[in-house]
A and B are shown apart, each in its own frame.
Chain A
Amino acid sequence: MADTKDLVLEVHGLKTNFYTYEGVVKALDGVELFLRRGDTMGLVGETGCGKSVTARSILRLVEPPGRVEEGEILFREIDPKTGEVNAVDILQLDEDEMLHIRGGKIAIVFQDPSTFPNPVFRIGDQIAEVILLHQDMKHDVLEMKINKLERILNMNPPPVNVSEIVAHLEQLRSMRGNPPEPDEKAKKKAAKWRAIEMLKLVRMPSPESVVNQYPHELSGGMRQRALIAMALACNPSILICDEATTALDVTVQAQVLNLLNQLKKEIGTSIIIITHDMGVVAETCNWVAVMYAGTTVETCATDELFANPLHPYTEGLLHAVPKLHEERERLPQIPGSVPNLIHPPSGCRFHPRCDFATEICKTEKPKLEEVQPDHWVACHHPRI
């Protein structure tokens, strides 16, 4: 990772604990991640390995009894005016600065579309809320007015006072460089208009009526689209999809994944896709990080990972994916089960299940190192 300027997000040594009655759950123990600008990164691992906790730690949404203990989460933002790259450590920000980042700079789409939208507010209001919170509405109000006039001009039959409208339109367009300060009412109207635009962006059928509907009136796929629209409403630098497609039908899942890929091109957002589905990773991600029991064990380009896995756990994980051209009675599996994180194994957390473990694996925790160009592994005995 030569040029850190390309990285929009860097996570180093992230540790998050949960203080439960049974003991301290060491959910994250030194997570390392890096996300390049414009990339789609897959964050994979089995259930309970800390993928979601990582996502919530990045947004500082870990709730008690959980707490982020240590680490560094560097978020690099390009200043739109100067083009300079500013780095901030999210864990060092105060709560007010954090409110600015959440939803505005880094947005998240959660797993379950049936429980995440607030049942008592209209979809449009829930999207408009985040727009009003983070956007300076000056441009939006102006664009809404221009858009309205353009629509009137294109009406059939054309309006009688075309010249007047054209003149007004020109006047509005000339203000684009320095739009006037709108009043509250206009802001709210523009936010609603933007909400409809966002719903159009996520290919929501009949967005004009959906904005006025409540979550329970929509299907699961539509609700998931609404959640994505909410997350994308402020053109975030990073979009985290926490199992955003897991609860959906396969067909809807494919639609949503396609949509994310298209949106990435349209908006230029970097995406983190959290999943345990290797198929989703192969199809949508160009970079992958594999997690095991709260640590990053391997991270590299997707093609590289599938062709040349270096960590014994990744190898086992890929072997467990059924292949079309092979005929097998039973899929190979990784022996043992996910370790108890209150008393995690010493040294490398994977060593009790690893075929290649030696003495050093029991005592010393391996560091994530670049063993091959652009291919990082945390293992004492990488499978080179």
Chain B
Amino acid sequence: MKLRDFILRRMILAIPVIFGVLVITWFLAFQVGDPAAMYINENTPQSAIESIRKAHGLDEPPHIQFILYLTNLFQGNWGESTSTSFRPVLEVIALKFPATIELAMLAMFFAIILGIPLGIISATKKDTVVDHFTRVFSLAGVSMPIFWFALMLKYVFYYQLAIMGLPHLPGSFRYDDLMFPDFKYTTGFLLFDSIVFEHNPRLFLDALAHLAMPAFCLGYLTLAIITRMMRSSMLEVMREDYITLARSKGLSERVVIYKHALRNALIPTVTVIGLAFGGLMTGAVLTETIFSWPGLGTWAARAILNSDLAAINGFTLLVALIFVTSNLIVDLVYGTLDPRIRYG
């Protein structure tokens, strides 16, 4: 009951946030260019341009246009993506979303699975070789720009290995369509589809190989952030009195660290994980573009290049929704980790 009220209240509070995002992105996009430009070419007669403007409501004053946009939005009409053969934005999102989510999930999975243990080891073996190595590794992660790191990965693991005639990682796309010409997506999640619907382990492995570089590239920043956060909060927690108490009980160091310290140290780390998940969406734009990943990121990047305003607005709205949702999930996880946090 209490939990449901909390979720409900948070969702209501999200409305002004989303509205703010809509106002800002729509008016910014409105300044950028004329949406009608995408529908015409040098041969289009002036009268036809006028009728295109009228058909899309572009002859109305800006505030009316914005209200029109909101009305359409609530009716499930997010506009037409002019750079994707005039298909409805929502349809394109539905088509490309699974590719991005699969990439982001794997990046996140790998960042958490590696980041938390690395942070713990780094903290408990403070000032040793392991710690120094981990710190350099994570500092590199937060300092390197994704686009540069992605190119370097591709240069080494794809280009250099390939010209040396060694087995190399694929550098673009989700799977090899020459090897699997008959494959059709069912849910759009390739790892899932290949096993459940196609019963094809070779396709699964091929998909994994294609995911390896982009997922590592996208996850590295998050991995670095999680490692650093975990290390510092672990160091802080290890100085707390309740750790001394746990030791005074005769608990082994392993239990002290992995039971008494970890649960407390995870609380700030979970916040960072939640925020980073939203960040993965923006990181995906760069990563996907470089690895020709047929996901939302590539689509959004192309939309920006082509002044595809409806697509830009749609993508921004989607990212905002993901941010709000992941923050809500973080707050729920808080409550299970820390009993002092009460919903209400």
Q: Do A and B come from one complex?
A: yes
Please tell me if the beta carbons of B249 and A129 are within 8 angstroms of each other in the complex.
Answer: yes
Interface stretch of the complex, out of A99-107, A328-336, A376-384:
A99-107
A320 to B251, CA, bound (A): 42
Q: Which residue of B lies closest to A55 (CB)?
A: B248
* Cβ-based interface call for B302 (8 A): no
* Residue from B240, B246, B264, B337 having most chain A Cβ neighbours under 10 A: B246
* Cβ-based interface call for B128 (8 A): no
Please tell me if the beta carbons of B339 and A100 are within 8 angstroms of each other in the complex.
Answer: no
A230 to B241, CA, bound (A): 15
Please tell me if the beta carbons of B250 and A116 are within 8 angstroms of each other in the complex.
Answer: no
Q: Which residue of B lies closest to A59 (CB)?
A: B248
Q: How large is the interface on B (under 10, 10 to 19, 20 to 34, 35 or more residues)?
A: 10 to 19
* Cβ-based interface call for B252 (8 A): yes
* Cβ-based interface call for A112 (8 A): yes
- How many residues of chain A get a CB closer than 8 Å to chain B's CBs? 30
* Residue from A107, A108, A118 having most chain B Cβ neighbours under 10 A: A118
With a cutoff of 8 Å between Cβ atoms, the chain A residues found around residue B263 in the complex are 120-121
Please tell me if the beta carbons of B249 and A116 are within 8 angstroms of each other in the complex.
Answer: no
* Residue from B240, B241, B260, B338 having most chain A Cβ neighbours under 10 A: B241
Please tell me if the beta carbons of B339 and A118 are within 8 angstroms of each other in the complex.
Answer: no
Please tell me if the beta carbons of B250 and A99 are within 8 angstroms of each other in the complex.
Answer: yes
Minimum Cβ distance to chain B for residue A82 (Å): 24
A121 to B259, CA, bound (A): 10
Q: Mask for A115-130, Cβ within 8 A of B = 1, else 0?
A: 1111111100000011
Please tell me if the beta carbons of A112 and B248 are within 8 angstroms of each other in the complex.
Answer: no
Minimum Cβ distance to chain A for residue B257 (Å): 13
Please tell me if the beta carbons of B248 and A103 are within 8 angstroms of each other in the complex.
Answer: yes
Q: Mask for B316-344, Cβ within 8 A of A = 1, else 0?
A: 00000000000000000000011110000
A134 to B337, CA, bound (A): 27
Q: Mask for B225-246, Cβ within 8 A of A = 1, else 0?
A: 0000000000000001110111
Please tell me if the beta carbons of B242 and A115 are within 8 angstroms of each other in the complex.
Answer: yes
Q: Mask for A189-200, Cβ within 8 A of B = 1, else 0?
A: 000000000000
Contact of A116 among B244, B251, B264 (CB under 8 A): B244
Q: List which A41-83 residues lie within 8 A (CB) of chain B.
A: 59, 61, 63
Please tell me if the beta carbons of B340 and A214 are within 8 angstroms of each other in the complex.
Answer: yes
Please tell me if the beta carbons of A119 and B338 are within 8 angstroms of each other in the complex.
Answer: yes
* Cβ-based interface call for A321 (8 A): no
* Cβ-based interface call for B247 (8 A): yes
Q: Which residue of A lies closest to B263 (CB)?
A: A120
With a cutoff of 8 Å between Cβ atoms, the chain B residues found around residue A120 in the complex are 263-264, 337-340
Minimum Cβ distance to chain B for residue A220 (Å): 14
Q: List which B275-305 residues lie within 8 A (CB) of chain A.
A: none
With a cutoff of 8 Å between Cβ atoms, the chain B residues found around residue A103 in the complex are 248-251
22 interchain pairs, CB-CB under 8 A: A63-B244, A99-B250, A99-B252, A102-B248, A103-B251, A108-B248, A110-B244, A110-B245, A112-B241, A115-B240, A115-B242, A116-B242, A118-B260, A119-B264, A119-B339, A120-B263, A120-B264, A120-B338, A122-B339, A133-B251, A216-B340, A230-B245
10 closest Cβ pairs, A-B complex: A103-B250, A102-B250, A103-B249, A115-B241, A118-B242, A214-B339, A130-B249, A99-B250, A116-B245, A116-B241
> Chain A residues in contact with chain B, CB under 8 A?
59, 61, 63, 98-104, 107-108, 110, 112, 115-122, 129-130, 133-134, 214, 216, 227, 230
Query: Knowing that A116-B241, A133-B249 are A-B contacts, what are 12 other residue pairs whose CB atoms are under 8 Å apart, sorted by A's residue number?
Result: A61-B244, A100-B250, A107-B248, A115-B240, A118-B245, A119-B242, A119-B339, A120-B263, A121-B263, A133-B251, A227-B245, A230-B245
